[in-house]
Structure 1
Amino acid sequence: MTALPKYSELPRLDDVGSHHAWDVFGPGDELGTLNLLDAEAVRHATGLVRTGERVGISLPLDQPDPPLFRREPFQHTVKRIGSMWDDRLDSFFPQCSTQWDGFRHHRVRQHGFYGGVLDDPAPGNPRLSIHHWARAGILGRGVLLDVAAHLPGVDPLSEHSITPDDLRAVASAQGTEIRPGDILCLRTGWLAAYRALEPEGKAAIAAEKAGLSSAGLAADESTAELLWDWHIAAVSADNPAVEVTPGDAAVGSLHRRLLGLLGIPLGELFDFDELATRLAAESRSEFLFVSVPLAVPGGLGSPGNAVAVL
């Protein structure tokens, strides 16, 4: 991990205006920066466990309600088979709740997906499928940056860019060191603010045709540069897109920069509220992060299925 190149040293796609890491982890790579979660990183992360208490950091699959981004609510039915009962889910969007975006989720224009893969996604297509992440899971040192606690003037339900300087300032205020291989967890306060809304307010957010507004990471290249140079394994947040929404087309997409160009997984709508309270009470910001995506061959994303172990 110490030998990884800096962002400025990576090859650059001038027409996109960003660097890429397609050759860093070798040809045919399926994991991107999840490669940093090797056995040594996991062994170290398990040493962070003090009490063994677990905090769920995934939302129920029927939340948010109504679903965001024009997704449909799934239909849950049960069926009796003799003395047993089975579940069935129809119209189920793996991205409807707490979820990981896979590398097929966002294309880099004519250059393709992560690694320069050009073919379109298809059911069962194993290349860049989410099932590769499920084989070993996403386990490592989770680090929570509580942006909401340290930038209290920000309305998380409005379009506001959290800059690299903001992230550095929060880390400094918490006394938190970001280390290679960390799973960076950002609490913007969006989920707490959303929960406080009446049903009418939640419905209005889901129906927003111009794109819902939320505070999130600035989408420009400086954010991509910081996250790569920190050499994190993944980034997750409590908001709907990790990056600011609806965003500015002239600035570009952080999804494209992180997923498509750098191979950094994005986790959205993670529930960090209780975790933030527990960590603050113990004056700590690190914990064992455990998440196992669904092993769906050809999958573009997956529910988070995540817990924090304290």
Structure 2
Amino acid sequence: MTSSPQASPHSASLPDNGPPLSREEFDALFEAVRAWNRWTPADRGAWNRVTPDHVRRAAALVRTGTTVPMALPWNTVPGPDNGKPALHYMSDLGDVEAPEPSCHKDFIAVDYHGKGVSHLDALSHIAYRGQLFDGRTARDVVDAAGAHFGAVSALGPLVTKGVLLDLPAVLGTDWLEPGRAVHAEDVLAAEKALGVTIDEGDAVLLRSGHVRRRAELGAWNPDAASAGFHVDAMPLLAERGIALLGGDGDSDVRPSPVEGLHSPVHALAITAMGVPLLDNLDPEALSAACAQAGRYAFMMVVAPLNIPGGTGSPVNPVAVL
């Protein structure tokens, strides 16, 4: 999709998210939510919270059997939000003489840690002050061969209760404007308005309306401006004991509310709390399904690719209502 003048978040003033935090204030927040030396195996982080009881409780939320996938289409088109387009080409068209049946094959490849592909961030993806989750020194455990701690292959699949924080539905808007921060009080208000409670082991998804805004107004650079969580929401989510965080952006509000730090929520969630992130989802169909069902909790299934040494994985999370 091409960009338009309307699509630029700079065509209007960005929301005022209050005075920026200093790095000293951020470091104090990092220490307050840090969950190191808590789990074995450590490189599964907060996914260790999810027990068979959590899975059974999630399965009990399935009532209609409606399944809702949340991955964006494989994005091969360059644009302001897709600087490294995915590849897809046919490697066999079945047109070479061969025994029946003929065969059609294709090739795909992607540098998925960007804005154009729905993906999961593993615990090896983000280091803060040179350290990964659990205090591992990044240079010691991540090299040209991949990650030797916190790889996506250590995570495996996740089945747990999902909670959709549908902020546009709560506020009666089509979307949150890029730059709008979601604060702790917004999370509490959304729980009350939507009739949900974030519990231990839950997967929390934020719908900001990013996908709808992009469809209606065109693409923009979300590295410059995007709706997402303010760092002041993270102590609440840490207190609740979440296992996974994600949404239709990459969870961080931008511009960053922390001086000199581009992705502070990434550092707090992944590096401090051991919570993997789901980036660039399309929760529009889930929003409609939840509204129709009258509930915003569901069974959530996430199955990343088994990539030894991988810092994450393209993924297609599925909600089951």
CA separation of 1:98/1:64 partners in 2, compared to 1, >3 Å: closer, same or farther? farther
In the alignment, structure 1 residue 224 sits paired with structure 2 residue 246: no
Tell me the distance in 2 between the aligned counterparts of 1:195 and 1:254: 26
CA separation of 1:67/1:303 partners in 2, compared to 1, >3 Å: closer, same or farther? farther
Deviation at 1:129, TM superposition (A): 0.4
Q: Which residue of 1 aligns with 2:196?
A: 176
Q: Which residue of 1 aligns with 2:15?
A: none
- Answer yes or no: is the 8 Å Cα contact 1:288–1:309 preserved in 2: yes
CA separation of 1:153/1:63 partners in 2, compared to 1, >3 Å: closer, same or farther? farther
TM-score (norm 1): 0.83
Deviation at 1:87, TM superposition (A): 2.1
Residue type of the alignment partner of 2:159: L
Q: 1:285 aligns with which of 283, 289, 296?
A: 296
Tell me the distance in 1 between the aligned counterparts of 2:174 and 2:188: 17
Q: 2:150 aligns with which of 128, 132, 150?
A: 128
Deviation at 1:80, TM superposition (A): 5.1
Deviation at 1:188, TM superposition (A): 0.9
Residue type of the alignment partner of 2:153: H
- Would you say how many aligned residue pairs link Structure 1 and Structure 2? 282
In the alignment, structure 1 residue 191 sits paired with structure 2 residue 211: yes
SS of 1:256's equivalent in the other structure is: helix
Q: Which residue of 2 aligns with 1:6?
A: none
Q: Which residue of 2 aligns with 1:22?
A: 36
Tell me the distance in 1 between the aligned counterparts of 2:111 and 2:200: 32
TM-score (norm 2): 0.80
In the alignment, structure 1 residue 162 sits paired with structure 2 residue 166: no
- Answer yes or no: is the 8 Å Cα contact 1:161–1:216 preserved in 2: yes
Q: 2:280 aligns with which of 269, 277, 283?
A: 269
Residue type of the alignment partner of 2:238: W
Which structure has the larger Rg?
2
Residue type of the alignment partner of 1:212: A
CA separation of 1:35/1:163 partners in 2, compared to 1, >3 Å: closer, same or farther? same
Tell me the distance in 2 between the aligned counterparts of 1:25 and 1:250: 31
Deviation at 1:212, TM superposition (A): 2.9
Deviation at 1:16, TM superposition (A): 2.6
In the alignment, structure 1 residue 214 sits paired with structure 2 residue 197: no
Q: Deviations over 1:99-128 (max 9, x none)?
A: 111112111113x11111114323344311
User: Gapped runs of 5+ residues in structure 2?
Assistant: 1-23
More moved, 174-183 vs 152-161: 152-161
Tell me the distance in 1 between the aligned counterparts of 2:260 and 2:74: 32
Q: RMSD across aligned C-alpha pairs, in angstroms?
A: 2.4
Q: 2:62 aligns with which of 35, 49, 57?
A: 49
Q: Which residue of 2 aligns with 1:247?
A: 256
Tell me the distance in 2 between the aligned counterparts of 1:30 and 1:77: 37
Deviation at 1:65, TM superposition (A): 5.4
Deviation at 1:247, TM superposition (A): 1.3
- Answer yes or no: is the 8 Å Cα contact 2:88–2:106 preserved in 1: no
Tell me the distance in 1 between the aligned counterparts of 2:36 and 2:317: 28
Deviation at 1:89, TM superposition (A): 2.1
Tell me the distance in 2 between the aligned counterparts of 1:63 and 1:169: 38
Residue type of the alignment partner of 2:244: A
CA separation of 1:170/1:106 partners in 2, compared to 1, >3 Å: closer, same or farther? same
Deviation at 1:35, TM superposition (A): 0.8
Tell me the distance in 1 between the aligned counterparts of 2:315 and 2:77: 14
More moved, 169-178 vs 17-26: 17-26
Q: 1:94 aligns with which of 94, 112, 119?
A: 112
Tell me the distance in 1 between the aligned counterparts of 2:61 and 2:225: 36
CA separation of 1:46/1:226 partners in 2, compared to 1, >3 Å: closer, same or farther? same
Q: Which residue of 1 aligns with 2:19?
A: none
- Answer yes or no: is the 8 Å Cα contact 1:290–1:308 preserved in 2: yes
Deviation at 1:236, TM superposition (A): 1.2
Q: Which residue of 2 aligns with 1:5?
A: none
SS of 1:76's equivalent in the other structure is: strand
In the alignment, structure 1 residue 78 sits paired with structure 2 residue 97: no
Deviation at 1:79, TM superposition (A): 2.4
Q: Which residue of 2 aligns with 1:10?
A: none
CA separation of 1:124/1:107 partners in 2, compared to 1, >3 Å: closer, same or farther? closer
Q: Which residue of 2 aligns with 1:3?
A: none
